Amino acid sequence: MTMTIRYQTTSQSLTQVDTVKNIPDDATIVWFDFEDVSEEENNYLTNNFNFNYLELEDAITGVPRVKYKAYKTYQYLVFHSMYKDDFSPIALNVFVNEKVLVTYHQNHFESLNEVAKMNSKHHDPDLDCADIVIHILDMMVDKYFDFVYTIEEKTYNFEAAHVDDTQSKKVMDNVFQIRSDLIKIKRVLFPMQELVNTIKTEDNLIVDSKHSMYIQHIDDHLIKQNNIIRTSQEWLMRLERISNLILPLE
């Protein structure tokens, strides 16, 4: 699609521009967002930012694992969300330093647009790149609840509807499908919670008490989501035990 450029100053809220030439010298934030970009825009990314070339290559060519790395001049993070239809992971790559934020993704992330709109309408002169990254992370994690509650409801409704006919092959096929979906969601949630714990431990992205409170809020949501998935797995395991089809949960 395209590369979107935004900036903010102490007197102007987050503003979108067509070219880097329109970024003022007093910009306190410059945000480059790359979404499903062309080869030319990929070349711009690799030629104009001093990021680790292996990580740039991973971002451009694949779906990197959830991660957090701190370098001398920037930090690199990978967040995961999920497709609605099959819960497979999609990656958001984030490169951030004091004044420059780069987000790179093959798929659309509505969270980015929401954060951009919010900060374009409401000017916070103290806003920094870390604030934006944490806002994005918070909105992404909040959207996990849609997936988590959907699979929780599917699990409980299925158990209630089929408690008396667990020997049916069709029923057990459905059990295995729900089980597969639960594992896919868990494979996103668990690494993301580890990522948040790493952010709290490393203390590089967190620069003040406001950040600390925000990160703790995100962590609390991830704990709740992981607990819901764990409980749903236990309900499903109960059906497997009834049918003597117990498989180890990941």
Per-residue model confidence (pLDDT) at position 163: 55
Q: How would residue 242 be classed by pLDDT, with cut points 50, 70 and 90?
A: low
55-92 as b/e, with b when 16 or more CB fall inside 10 Å?
Answer: bbebbbeeebebbbeeeeebbbbbbbbbeeeebebbbb
- Average pLDDT of the chain is 89
What pTM did the predictor assign? 0.89
pLDDT digits (tens, 9 = 90+) for 52-104: 999 999 899 888 999 999 999 999 999 999 988 889 999 999 999 989 999 99
Closest CA to 68 of 246, 233, 192: 192
